[in-house]
Structure 1
Amino acid sequence: MSINLDRRKKYTRMVLKNSFIQLLNEKAFSSITVKEICVLADINRSTFYTHYTDQFDLLYQIEAEIIEEMNKYLNECNFVEEEESIEMTEKLLEYIKNRKEICQTLLHRNTGTSFEKRVMDIAREFLLNKAINMKTTEASYLSTFIISGALHVIKEWLANDTKESPRRIAEMISQFTNKGLLFMN
């Protein structure tokens, strides 16, 4: 009995999330209502409220899941050498590509949240704790510079329908980070 209940819960949450993401692709977050989510998901409003307090909570939970999964990916990597850095970035890009629709929606749509900032914060924390070995002030600015650039490359990659492989994008990000303008020559 418990297994069926868990399956129903998982299914209900999945349908609500998918419906919400579909609506986010069609309109601004501020104009999405719980009623619309429920109609699209074919779920009763009371069922929605047993899982989420409102559409803000639903969005936050979706973002939190992605952030948690990204953290797991980052913490599994040993960021010591450039090749390991490329492999870690490639692994993250594979994750993003596999969850392309939701990542693209959360990064490109005006959701009224700070998803991009949350992604930058986990990347910055990882970089500062495991990768950059310099003074705190410089490290903070450098990590912001690197992460902002990488995030915008990823957004453009998503907008271009992920035509390049995750490996190629990881290599480009590494080259841009390590060689900067020298890469252009």
Structure 2
Amino acid sequence: MADNRKHQTRRKLEMALSELLSKQNFNQITIQEIARLAGVSRGGFYTHFHDKYDLIEQYQARIFDQLEGIFAQQEIERGEIFRLAFVFLQEEPLAASLLSPNGTSEIQLYFIAKFRQLIIQDAKRFRKLKHLDDQELIYGAAYFSNALFGYYQTWLVNGMKESPEEMTSLLLTLLPDR
């Protein structure tokens, strides 16, 4: 029972941070604001986390494991990986908030790096990219991975109105021919 209450309190704190990130930059958010919005005392916050950075670090460690599971799936089509990433962001409001312009660079850089890795793995399968040398591939992967991140971030900033399937379908039409 105590573990369930601990989990619920942590989740309330995560959700409060997510809501605050929709209005202000992470660096401007105080522990007092997080605790108040979560309905937890300041001392209750410190029972679970050292500071707001610890909250983020623990959360990111947990979700990075989940994201690794999505991005590591070699046997499924890339479109399905993109769709699963959209679904994940719908189900994890704090992750979505951290990817917003008010979020933290760690998770943003993580997403960009994962996209870059997927692009490099697939590069030789794209007709338009087969001719690239290693240096050109590095720049091309940087370009496309940042574009993909911007695509996801724009969806988040615009309120995730479209379904993951709609966003994936549009994304696949924008990618180079295979």
Shared fold by TM > 0.5? yes
Contact 1:127 1:143 in 2 (8 A): yes
Q: Which residue of 1 aligns with 2:129?
A: none
The whole-number CA distance in structure 2 between the counterparts of 1:10 and 1:147 is 34
Within-5 A mapping of 1:38-53: 38-53=35-50
Aligned to 2:113: 121
Aligned partner of 1:85 among 75, 78, 89: 78
In 2, Cα distance between equivalents of 1:164 and 1:38: 32
How far apart are residue 112 of structure 1 and its match?
A: 5.0
The one-letter code matched in structure 2 to 1:155 is Q
Cα deviations by residue, 1:75-130 (Å, 9 ceiling, x for unpaired): 23425xxxx1212212222222333x4344222232353321121112323443x4
2:27 corresponds in structure 1 to 30
**Aligned positions of 1:169-180 closer than 5 A:** 169-179=167-177
Distance 1:172 1:26 in 2: 29
Compute the RMSD of aligned alpha carbons. 2.5
* Equivalent position to 2:147, from 128, 146, 149: 149
**CA positional deviation for 1:11:** 1.0
TM-score by length of 1: 0.77
Q: Which letter does structure 2 place at the counterpart of 1:166?
A: P
Consecutive unaligned residues in structure 1, runs of 5 or more = 180-185
Corresponding residue number in structure 1 for 2:157:
159
Q: Is the 8 A contact 2:115 2:148 kept in 1?
A: no
Q: Which runs of 5+ in 2 are unaligned?
A: 125-131
Residues 1:41 and 1:168: Cα distance change in structure 2 (over 3 Å): closer
TM-score under structure 2 length normalisation: 0.80
Quote the residue 2:55 is aligned against: 58
Q: Does the aligned pair in 2 maintain the 1:86–1:170 contact within 8 Å?
A: yes
Structure 1 equivalent of residue 128 of structure 2:
none
Q: What corresponds to 2:88 in structure 1?
A: 95
Give the 3-state SS of the residue equivalent to 2:22 in structure 1.
helix
Task: Tell me how far 1:166 sits from its aligned partner.
Answer: 1.8
